[in-house]
Amino acid sequence: MKHLALALALFGAATLAQADVTVSDPWVRGTVPAQRATGAFMRLQADQDLRLVAASSPVAGVAEIHEMVMQDNVMKMRRVDGIALGKGKPLELKPGGYHVMLMDLKQPLKAGEQVPLTLTFEGAAKGKTITKQVQATVQSLAPQGSQGHGAMMKH
């Protein structure tokens, strides 16, 4: 039985080992000391159909995948189960759209710092995943409102 489990594990790993995702220009919005949440952004391109299904970072207690949607003329964000990445089609995570939400921040993020992110992608066969490690650069942009994430909302 042990051999069978090992064979299955190897087979599973091999299936998605062929998949790759290019992550370009990852960055994180800088925070002020009292702020507990911020967004991470980047461009993704996969060489096969994949879904971004999870993210994590040592600087955040919780990381979720969010999207911004217009609701009653107000931009709101909500959690999504994942973002579909079509083969060869670039997808941009950007302010006002999809983002990786970093919550329960353990420290303020200052401009120029590097934030490690681990992204998990699922292949067409459910349950088969690959992970990608990236270093996102903290950028300080416009001053943030007290809600932190509110600074992402556009008029």
Binding residues for Cu ion (CB under 5 A): 66, 77, 101
Kindly tell me which of 60 and 77 has the beta carbon lying closer to Cu ion: 77
Least distance to Cu ion from the beta carbon of 37, Å?
7
Cα-based torsion angle of the residue sequence 104, 135, 33, 152 in order, rounded to the nearest 10 degrees = -80
Distance CA 90, CA 46 (A): 8
Kindly tell me which of 126 and 146 has the beta carbon lying closer to Cu ion: 146
Least distance to Cu ion from the beta carbon of 119, Å?
16
Least distance to Cu ion from the beta carbon of 39, Å?
6
Pair 18, 124: CB distance under 8 Å: no
Kindly tell me which of 54 and 101 has the beta carbon lying closer to Cu ion: 101
Question: What percent of the residues of the chain are helix, what percent strand, and what percent coil, each to the nearest 5?
Answer: 15, 50, 35
